[in-house]
């Protein structure tokens, strides 16, 4: 609770006197809870670290009177924290990025099933756990980007094309341990089978222009500068560069041609940010209200315009809209976690580090 209070005080700019009053109130609440007016709250453990999310929380409080207490951290650290806290956990909800991480959390049994007609209506079937353990809130597409001026020796329209020998020495990618690549590989296994997925990974490794390194932005910079010819990156990073006020960032995307892969077959690989209600949520009803609110038109628009993500429902707006329309892979996002162990083994056998 001290950690949560500290975050709240930083968010609202408490004065020293205000901090003292808040701490005194907290102390009194622990001694004489029945003498104080109960504050409606929802306790959110989040691995998303974006300023726009704070605007979402504040608007929810304005609409409902329910205060959002926020604990931030890395996905794996938050999962382990909730596990260790067990039935004494104050967490009502966990929010994270990537279906693979949501699946990891569900495998640790930290979520409970949720029934909500609104969530059933708003969240597409392929973007939520079949048992109602977690729900997608926003989307990111894994797109191909290549150097516009340099071009490529062949048309690259599918993820599979990255393994073509004509691209030897041209491909830059992130590490195989990165969750985005694990989820992409999981989708390829689901679509093509394990043998074909391993052949693809081996072909891409042979085409590496450098040892896997850096994040998605680093890959885009390398392609824009000509160090590499082609890469794969989340549209979130492209949107952030497109919407930047820094001319150097916009110059990066100006130097790139962006392709949504596999438009003539299964569609582009899509991943999500998402959330689930924790197993021992002390404020379950408030948490469900908050989860439903995150699928509202207001929240969906802010995900797109404020954080360069695609909404799960409603029109696309903001910087990513300039990338155009696309057809997405319709496999259920839970598969991206279920295939994760296979993906790791394939990457290791292919020598992708």
Q: Which of 24-28, 234-238, 291-295 has the lowest mean pLDDT?
A: 24-28
The predicted pLDDT at position 49 comes to 86
Strands (E), the chain: 41-46, 67-72, 93-97, 135-147, 230-234, 256-259, 270-277, 310-311
CATH topology agreement for domains 43-139+271-319 and 141-269+327-350: yes
Averaged pLDDT score across all residues of the chain: 90
Q: What is the CATH number of domain 141-269+327-350?
A: 3.40.190.10
| CA separation, residue 124 to residues 11, 129, 347 (Å) | 33, 10, 30
Distance (Å, whole) CA 301 – CA 132: 24
Band (pLDDT 50/70/90 cuts) for residue 29 is very low
Q: For 233-282, what is each residue's pLDDT tens digit?
A: 999 999 999 999 999 999 999 999 999 999 999 999 999 999 999 999 99
Percentage above 90 pLDDT, the chain: 87
106: tokens are 């569900």
Residue 28 scores a pLDDT above 70: no
Local confidence band at 72 (pLDDT 50, 70, 90 cut-offs): very high
- Axis crossing angle, helix 99-107 with helix 75-85, rounded to the nearest 10: 20
| pLDDT of amino acid 50 | 85
* DSSP state letters, 56-103: HHHHHHHHH--EEEEEE--HHHHHHHHHHHGGG----EEEEESHHHHH
pLDDT, residue 13, reads: 38
**Cα(306)–Cα(52) distance, integer angstroms:** 6
Contact, 169 vs 160, CB < 8 A?
Answer: no
Convert the pLDDT of each residue in 78-118 to its tens digit: 999 999 999 999 999 999 999 999 999 999 999 999 999 99
**For the chain, what are the domain ranges?**
43-139+271-319, 141-269+327-350
Closest CA to 109 of 133, 73, 81: 133
Topology classification of domain 43-139+271-319: D-Maltodextrin-Binding Protein; domain 2 (3.40.190)
* 33 confidence band (pLDDT: 50, 70, 90): very low
In the structure, what pLDDT confidence band is assigned to residue 27 with cuts at 50, 70 and 90? very low
- Give the Cα separation of 18 and 205 in Å (integer): 57
Whether 99 and 274 have beta carbons less than 8 Å apart is answered as yes
């Amino acid at each position: 609770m001290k950690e949560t209070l500290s975050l709240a005080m930083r968010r609202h700019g408490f004065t020293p006197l205000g901090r003292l009053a808040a701490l005194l109130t907290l102390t009194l609440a622990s001694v004489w809870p029945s003498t104080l007016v109960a504050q409606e709250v929802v306790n959110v453990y989040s691995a998303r670290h974006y300023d726009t999310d704070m605007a979402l929380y504040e608007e929810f409080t304005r609409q409902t009177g329910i205060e959002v207490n926020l604990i931030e951290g890395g996905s794996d650290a938050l999962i382990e924290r909730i596990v260790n806290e067990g039935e004494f956990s104050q967490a009502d909800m966990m929010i994270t990025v990537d279906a693979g991480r949501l699946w990891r959390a569900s495998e640790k049994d930290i979520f409970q099933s949720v029934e909500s007609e609104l969530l059933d209506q708003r969240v597409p079937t392929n973007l939520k756990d079949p048992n109602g353990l977690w729900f997608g809130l926003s989307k990111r597409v894994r797109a191909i980007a290549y150097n516009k001026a340099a071009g490529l020796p062949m048309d690259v329209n599918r993820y599979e094309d990255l393994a073509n020998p004509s691209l030897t020495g041209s491909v830059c990618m992130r590490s195989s341990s990165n969750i985005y690549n694990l989820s992409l590989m999981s989708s390829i296994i689901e679509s093509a089978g394990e043998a074909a997925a391993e052949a693809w990974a081996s072909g891409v490794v042979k085409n590496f222009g450098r040892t896997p390194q850096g994040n998605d932005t680093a890959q885009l910079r390398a392609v824009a500068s000509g160090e590499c010819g082609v890469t794969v990156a989340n549209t979130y990073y492209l949107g952030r560069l497109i919407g930047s006020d820094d001319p150097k960032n916009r110059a990066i995307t100006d130097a790139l041609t962006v392709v949504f892969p596999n438009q003539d077959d299964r569609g582009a690989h899509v991943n999500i940010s998402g959330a689930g209600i924790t197993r021992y949520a002390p404020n379950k009803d408030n948490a469900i209200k908050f989860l439903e609110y995150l699928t509202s038109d207001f929240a969906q628009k802010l995900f797109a315009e404020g954080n360069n993500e695609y909404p799960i429902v409603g029109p696309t707006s903001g910087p990513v809209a300039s990338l155009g329309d696309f057809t997405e892979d319709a496999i259920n996002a839970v598969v991206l976690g279920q295939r994760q162990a296979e993906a790791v083994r394939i990457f290791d056998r292919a020598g992708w580090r």
